[in-house]
Structure 1
Amino acid sequence: MTTEATTPDEFWRNPHAPVADRVRDLIARMTPQEKIAQLQGIWVGIDAAGEMAPHQHEFAVAPQDFDKLTANGIGQLTRVFGTRPVAPEVGVHTLARTQRQVIESSRFGIPAVVHEECLTGLAAWQATVFPAPLSWGATFDPDLVRRMAAKIGESMRRIGIHQGLAPVLDVARDLRWGRIEETIGEDPHLVGTIASAYVAGLESAGIVSTLKHFAGYSASRAGRNHAPVSIGPRELADVILPPFEMALKAGARSVMNSYADNDGVPAASDPTLLTTKLREEYGFTGTVVADYFSVAFLHKLHGVAADREDAARLALTAGIDVELPTVDCFGDPLLEGIDAGRVDLALIDRALERVLAQKIELGLLDPGYSPVGDAGVDLDDDESRAIAREVAESSIVLLQNDGVLPLSGKRLAVIGPRADEAGAMMGCYSFPLHVGVHYPDVEMGIEVPTVLEALSADHEVVFARGCPVTGGTDDEIAEAVQTARQADVAVLVLGDHAGLFGRGTSGEGCDASDLNLPGRQEELLEAVLGTGMPVVLVLLSGRPYDLSRQADRLAAVVSGFYAGEEGAAAIAGVLSGRVNPSGRLPISFPGAGSTQPSTYLTAKLGTRSEVSNVDPTPLYPFGHGLSYHPATWTTVGSEEREWPTDGVCRVHVVLRNELETATTEVVQLYLHDPVAEVARPVRLLVGAVKVHLEPGQTRTVTAELHADLTSYTGRSGRRQVDTGDVELHVGTSSANIHTALRLTLTGERREVGFDRVMSPVFEIR
């Protein structure tokens, strides 16, 4: 079926006319009811869905009459594929039928934008589960992440989806927060670089990427989900916002607000954030969509709106364009406010202009639009699995090794609650754990090998669970100890069970009160260590945990985070030596006693000092990761000693592989600013590049860094580039610096803004 213009004068359907003119023409024809309908979503099947959003069953009412709800049109369809297990071919036909209903039931026949979650790949039954975002960060490889996102986007586009609710750009601030697993890491430059690559990949497939959560969500007090945020303007400007700036420059066309309030102002009702900052300063012209039920939260949870109408007015005024996931405040309450003169129709038109412009960009208003997808598409094809494997292998981090790895010719005791569980490889936004958990009688739909299965293919193995992720008995631990004694090496696979709203130890709404391993897992670890045999710890988790009490007794430690459906094969490859580990930590592992953890981005007084008895030094620092075959660093230098405040400096690093096996290094560049107007981090990442070296190969990395990379928010509240001395620390982690290069910024102090240079340019010869 195609939509055709019903009268010759329907200029808004002309695909050759300017977008703005088409939008104005259509808006002039629409009634208030038809306008508001384009700002709403409908979640079909919400009545049968398990809890997938906060307060879902309190705020959401299942649509009773679809035709009535769409009589004036509808803006968005929520999670047609991602609400329940639906075979791809069935989902494609269902979506096409639903779109036809939307088109035929309203006067203008405007199709809906269809959105889905895609944080670990498309959240649909039988779709590939890719590694979770912490694993993206651990790759330090934006090109690889871009290719992954392009593949995800291609699958989404082929089945009729238009918008993906990813990536998450929240910078990790407190490891106890349950959504740490959804972050890319604790450094804004790394988060921005990797997220921008994901955006570029998704958008290259024609899918609208959605940046979330704008802004400050991850800085909640005590790491509690939705808890108030109390950060200052410089932390917001220099830590929280830069990843969003970078991703907007990469072409993101949508932004989703944060649930949290900062200093008492919820993001969903903050015009300074959503309009002044996002629209006027950043020049963003896309759509702002509400995080699920966040408009209603203004009334029910934040207490800044008197009722649903007031909540809708506040959200529209702030700059939210579309209410998701389903009709609530932007429905009858908003219409009543317009009729009574309490809501300005100009607010509706402003949001509608953005919504319709995006629909035109997507081709939904063109005469030839047809709501038909590819019913034969394989959502877990060989290419997807190959990319998932590549990302997983590139993300595994070897944290320590006394020489026991790689394993060869040894009998293994594989122990632990994560060893024989397919779900151990997946984050909370993967379809099996996000949706499939509510349908226990439905098969997973994809093959996800366990670590036990992957290791059994290479080694003689005995197995004992030892304990579940939480709970367990003394007898189970005793059995694990006896099993360990039957082998040469014990491989303990510990970590988290991802879930939602208390159904896991990691994930949305699954915050931690401390950073001890969940349940009795540390007790199990101690019991196996007590045998005196070599113990290799494999950690599959959504956050780093405190391993300081055992680290010096462990033979090796490997971090896999949530490495996706190919993660077990990647881990087995690293343990066996087929894969040389090249992942680097996107987030620090806490040291002893870190009950209130911070990140490496701290000023001098946030480091170890004589004025506090608490040592915040991490056990494994940001950027850390070992290799079986490390490259040799031969030269680090710069020809410049002066660095113009409006110019560039160049740093070169010469690496040589003196071994007979290929290797990979991650060259990391950090800025140290010894004197500034405000207290600055001792060291912050300004660039990193992954370098592959064949046996015997020498490669030269040249980094061109613009002085804008030294900018920070000064006492005036504006971002500035100072004159004076700085240092570039070049090394293999934030704590392992090979060379400190001293330079002097010369010229005039400059103020810079959104158009500043935010990344170095790398050349590898």
Structure 2
Amino acid sequence: MTDLQTAAPSQPSTRVRDLLERMTLEEKLAQIVGFWEKSEGEAVAPLQGEFEVERGLDDVIKDGLGHLTRVYGTRPIDAVERARWLWDKQRWFVNETRLGIPALVHEECLTGLSAWGAATFPTPLAWGSSFDADLVTRMGEVIGRSMRTLGVHQGLAPVLDVIRDPRWGRVDECISEDPYLVGTLGTSYVRGLQSTGVHATLKHFVGYSASQSGRNFGPVHAGPREVADVLLPPFEMAVLDGGVRSVMHSYAEIDGVPVAANPELLTGVLRDRWGFDGTVVADYFGVAFLHLLHHVAADLGDAAGQALAAGVDIELPTGDAYLTPLAEAVRSGTVDEALVDRAVLRALAQKEELGLLDARFDDEPPTEVDLDSPEHREIAAQLAERSLVLLTNDGTLPVAPDARIAVVGPNADRTAALFGCYSFLNHVLAHHPDVPVGIESPTVLEALRREHAAQITYARGCAVDDDDRSGFDEAVAIASDADVAVLVVGDHAALFGRGTVGEGCDRDDLELPGVQRELVEAVLATGTPVVLVMLTGRPYAVDWALGRCAAAVQAFFPGEEGGTAIAGLLSGRVNPSGRLPISMPRSAGAQPYTYLHPALGGDGDVTNLSTVPTLPFGHGLSYTTFTHTDLRVAPGATTDGGLAVTVTVTNTGGRTGADVVQLYGHDVVASVTRPVAQLLGYHRVELAPGQSVDVELTVPAARLAFTDRSGRRVVEPGELRVWVGPSCAEREVEASVELAGETYAVTLDDARWTHVTAV
């Protein structure tokens, strides 16, 4: 285990150390816990209410408080009214507690600030589809500004779990199956949010998404190389390149050791190797779970001691383990108070960095806020449009202006279908069904009626997830009378079994939920051309439909402007440019699957079953066409310097559009098996008809590195095949390059992951 001196915050200030020396044990513990004011029926976390000690805010704040949990994001409440409450409470901390330290306020912000009336952006899987790092940064900036206005200091986002199995319910919170794409977009979000003075929190460090059978909380059986080369890199990028200030531990256990009690990960990797000096916060109730679910702690005091020793500084959302149980453990001598002091130093240093140690709250709270401003909506619209993936198209799209359209399906006229699990609508308002949504969010049907001048009819057909087929006849009738049928199917995001995707909503199969496949089959049987629109939080196995539909569109919960974006794609106003950030699966039986597989992870003569996905990672069509030519690798490619690749991109079609240039590589011979394809770089570029541009992608050595047989991250000399194409599976233009030099051990002094592009 790392000693306390090594793992302590880097040079905590004299002021922070002085505060620590003045504190009683109770005052110390108060600074490393949160408090969550909530009511019966407001359960939005796993097993919430099963073990919490009932206490009111006045019972815990007399000694101060570390975090106020979800002040705005627990129930629908007017933001201005709640800000007045918060300012009054902070003044109380400043004026009435002995040390006068305000509380740090944290909120969920994965798809926007999780508060009633706040803008709700596309889900992270849609960020991945956009391949647009700059736009994700802008989104983070406007989210952060909203949070700062309301006195929020820390956001619990982004999620950097690399998708390993689409059956897992939390896929909609994730960005991609590719760690480089996850890392670049996640780091972009961190930079945007933190540029406003709000601290981002990386979730969930580490391994959560690699759970057994795609089950929430399932054990993780990943080997050390998979952890090092696939699961850790996005977090490393956000720490080293993004300067993130907070990290949340994963609920997972890896090879039998829960991450919340693993000092090798939380201290050895995160702090000693990467130099992270921020705070590590518990995923909600994660410390108590060491006792209640993992059974590696005899009681809550033991759980608190193990978590502190591993490096968990702050217990969220409440102090179930870090208050009375930890106090008793410290006083009995079973937990060293030096561990408490280490965590308190980090917590106080974060408050000092945020300016909280000097805050008096003698100003007035905001009297007017616009959490869904035109700027919010502009960014939401751009990200929604750029995230839509046109999977197939026989020329039916764009729909002719005078075409009679039948709109069918359970997600065609359902607002919640636009949003993910951690949106305020599906996460919180589900417990308040009589409260309006609070933001304008046109459904696909409503938006299409605004967009398309011709006749539009509508029938729901069926629900998302039941076996009621009574609406099939109406759906078939209106489809039969139309020129084209737009069939909008997919998911309902919710929590803990209440939906078809979301936290605790895992799947045994990858068929469309309920009787939706039967509805699609019934509409296809009419002979009317069908445009299949999938509003989902995961990819589904729909190979049976893609070849029979006139066109198919994948929309990963595109947010408040998503319905309008989809209508624009169907009409032709929006030229689709999204690319699949995850392979479109062939079957549940082929899972877990990733395009990053070695040779024996794909098809071959040694098995009778195919693993080839229905559509590959990176696939996506446009209403124009692009070519990639003249791939050039700059001289001087080396193991310690990486390489630079230039390719010419030309819009060969008839309208302006955006291409995603995708550079892949394959290490031909290596000391361990390597992926048959690996994303080495990408860049979105918009071109007018006939326009060409040279795109240069710089690949630093660290992006070529992998863990060798001795456990070192190295770049080995030898042949590297590189190519550019419209997906990982298509080599439109390729080259071979020899990496010169000796085997190179990558260090933190290298330009590890920087995304460098020149146009």
For 1:69 and 1:77, the matched residues in 2 are separated by 11
SS in 2 for 1:726: strand
The answer (yes or no) to whether the contact 1:699–1:764 under 8 Å persists in 2 is no
For 1:764 and 1:576, the matched residues in 2 are separated by 33
Match of 2:135 in 1: 144
SS in 2 for 1:664: strand
Residue 630 of structure 1 deviates from its aligned partner by 1.8
The answer (yes or no) to whether the contact 2:642–2:704 under 8 Å persists in 1 is no
The answer (yes or no) to whether the contact 2:682–2:697 under 8 Å persists in 1 is no
The answer (yes or no) to whether the contact 1:73–1:103 under 8 Å persists in 2 is no
Which of 4, 11, 15 matches 1:22?
15
Q: Which amino acid aligns with 1:689?
A: H
For 2:363 and 2:315, the matched residues in 1 are separated by 23
* CA shift in 2, pair 1:592/1:175, >3 Å: closer
The answer (yes or no) to whether the contact 1:388–1:566 under 8 Å persists in 2 is yes
SS in 1 for 2:290: helix
* CA shift in 2, pair 1:692/1:89, >3 Å: same
The answer (yes or no) to whether the contact 1:593–1:614 under 8 Å persists in 2 is no
* CA shift in 2, pair 1:686/1:763, >3 Å: closer
* CA shift in 2, pair 1:168/1:631, >3 Å: same
* CA shift in 2, pair 1:201/1:439, >3 Å: same
* CA shift in 2, pair 1:259/1:371, >3 Å: farther
2:431 equivalent to 1:438: yes
1:208-252 CA distances to partner (integer Å, 9 max, x unpaired)? 000010000000000000011110000000000000001112121
SS in 2 for 1:557: strand
Which of 275, 291, 299 matches 2:291?
299
2:93 equivalent to 1:98: no
Match of 1:678 in 2: 672
Residue correspondence of structure 1 range 464-483 to structure 2 within 5 A: 464-483=459-478
* CA shift in 2, pair 1:336/1:474, >3 Å: closer
2:581 equivalent to 1:616: no
The answer (yes or no) to whether the contact 1:394–1:582 under 8 Å persists in 2 is yes
2:703 equivalent to 1:709: yes
1:453-486 CA distances to partner (integer Å, 9 max, x unpaired)? 1111214211111100011433311221111101
Which of 575, 579, 582 matches 1:580?
575
Residue correspondence of structure 1 range 70-109 to structure 2 within 5 A: 70-109=61-100
1:381-433 CA distances to partner (integer Å, 9 max, x unpaired)? 11101110010001000011011001112111100000010111000111011
Match of 1:753 in 2: 747
Match of 1:13 in 2: none
SS in 2 for 1:129: coil
The answer (yes or no) to whether the contact 1:170–1:216 under 8 Å persists in 2 is yes
* CA shift in 2, pair 1:130/1:698, >3 Å: same
Match of 2:560 in 1: 565
The answer (yes or no) to whether the contact 1:481–1:528 under 8 Å persists in 2 is yes
1:654-678 CA distances to partner (integer Å, 9 max, x unpaired)? 1223445211111111120111111
For 2:222 and 2:664, the matched residues in 1 are separated by 24
For 2:607 and 2:252, the matched residues in 1 are separated by 31
Which of 546, 565, 573 matches 1:551?
546
The answer (yes or no) to whether the contact 2:509–2:588 under 8 Å persists in 1 is no
SS in 2 for 1:550: helix
SS in 1 for 2:370: coil
2:330 equivalent to 1:338: yes
SS in 1 for 2:487: strand
For 2:746 and 2:76, the matched residues in 1 are separated by 49
Which of 391, 398, 401 matches 1:399?
391
Q: Which amino acid aligns with 2:457?
A: V
Which of 733, 736, 744 matches 1:742?
736
For 2:77 and 2:749, the matched residues in 1 are separated by 44
The answer (yes or no) to whether the contact 1:413–1:490 under 8 Å persists in 2 is yes
SS in 2 for 1:255: strand
For 2:410 and 2:701, the matched residues in 1 are separated by 49
Equivalent residues, number: 745
The answer (yes or no) to whether the contact 2:126–2:557 under 8 Å persists in 1 is yes
SS in 1 for 2:637: strand
The answer (yes or no) to whether the contact 1:414–1:490 under 8 Å persists in 2 is yes
Residue 273 of structure 1 deviates from its aligned partner by 0.6
Residue 21 of structure 1 deviates from its aligned partner by 1.5
Q: Which amino acid aligns with 1:135?
A: A
Match of 1:428 in 2: 421
Residue 635 of structure 1 deviates from its aligned partner by 2.3
Identify unmatched segments of 5+ residues in structure 2: 1-10
SS in 2 for 1:95: helix
* CA shift in 2, pair 1:760/1:734, >3 Å: farther
Match of 1:537 in 2: 532
Match of 2:597 in 1: 602
For 2:756 and 2:17, the matched residues in 1 are separated by 44
Residue 330 of structure 1 deviates from its aligned partner by 0.3
SS in 1 for 2:494: coil
The runs of at least 4 aligned residues of structure 1 exceeding 6 Å deviation read none
For 2:194 and 2:755, the matched residues in 1 are separated by 22
Q: Percent identity?
A: 54
For 1:391 and 1:413, the matched residues in 2 are separated by 27
Match of 2:237 in 1: 246
2:278 equivalent to 1:286: yes
Residue 602 of structure 1 deviates from its aligned partner by 0.5
SS in 1 for 2:556: coil
The answer (yes or no) to whether the contact 1:687–1:759 under 8 Å persists in 2 is no
The answer (yes or no) to whether the contact 1:515–1:595 under 8 Å persists in 2 is no
* CA shift in 2, pair 1:156/1:760, >3 Å: closer
2:39 equivalent to 1:43: no
For 1:690 and 1:404, the matched residues in 2 are separated by 26
Match of 2:503 in 1: 508
Identify unmatched segments of 5+ residues in structure 1: 1-17
The answer (yes or no) to whether the contact 2:628–2:725 under 8 Å persists in 1 is no
The answer (yes or no) to whether the contact 1:643–1:707 under 8 Å persists in 2 is no
2:255 equivalent to 1:260: no
TM-score by length of 2: 0.96
The answer (yes or no) to whether the contact 2:491–2:535 under 8 Å persists in 1 is yes
The answer (yes or no) to whether the contact 2:541–2:586 under 8 Å persists in 1 is yes
For 1:756 and 1:48, the matched residues in 2 are separated by 52
